Structure 1
């Protein structure tokens, strides 16, 4: 994945230009998403699009900063396997779906999507979600906030008070180094705490391999509220 440098009015270099690939089986949706993203401030350039996930693996689509992925491509079965493979390859994914379903939204976050967005939520939220994901940050739209706030699993890991403190600080910080400074510990200790937390979730069958997945788990378990992010 790469960022292009956009030229300013005076010929100088300004903020990095972000790029996206749009995977949706409806041409009108692909065109609409491309228009919304390119009309944002600053714009996000759609470098590839297609009706199946191959668009995200080929040519310019393979180098896009963010993947906008329709959950249902030509059939009723959600493409969770494709989502998993994209995340495992390090791609930053926004799931964009007609389906307003709390369970599937949480499942997508658990697989590593940075956002689950319904198509009813419009241009503003799509642009915000795409920009956040392209920069490696999760984004919580209104529908997802409801899904997360409404889920409180009874199957929780036994996290220590220090682990919870590190976890919450990490959600609210730009980097692990900043967490270390805030808590007066080393960066390696921060990493150790986060790895132990992931192991504890994995041991109870609730894997959280990415930061976005950990955010979802923490909200589900009442460790942090949506408004705290």
Structure 2
């Protein structure tokens, strides 16, 4: 049986394995060129690397400035810690006021708790007269209490920008005196107490602290 001319003995399967003819190769060239063009168009170009960052130049002056700032922060932290410790140690042992204070503060003594209010400040000779109201919330009377008053310029606030320099200046301005009074503190009543601090201007009583001690008890006998 003769095979047909031009037909592969394996049929169509044989045609799949044959090499392309010259004419077919010529037809494929535009297609390959188009594919290469499309691939090159879809492939992003490599971006140029960013310029290198400039290296920071740290001089000896910069290091000294940083060291100075660190020392200043450390000193301020020590002052804040000292201020906080002082507040904790004197909690309710004294009453603290400024000229605009309103209301009373409790003061704890060995014999009981008293309420103290700064009523007014008035000039007196070369100083200032401080008028306090002392409230005896006990059920017995006390006589002749002793007061310890401290006064100075306005106490700086921790949030103040110049707190580091202002705190030592304020602390150096504080003066203290002790004064025994001859006042009867009646049970359940307010009693007025006047204490003169001198020499002192109105600016030098921006901070006032008061402690008290009572040793004499007055009780009726039957």
TM-score grouping bracket, smaller chain normalisation: under 0.3
Structure holding more helix per residue: 1
| TM-score (normalised: structure 1) | 0.21
Structure holding more strand per residue: 2
Query: Which structure is richer in relative contact order (CA contacts within 8 A, separation 6 or more)?
Result: 2
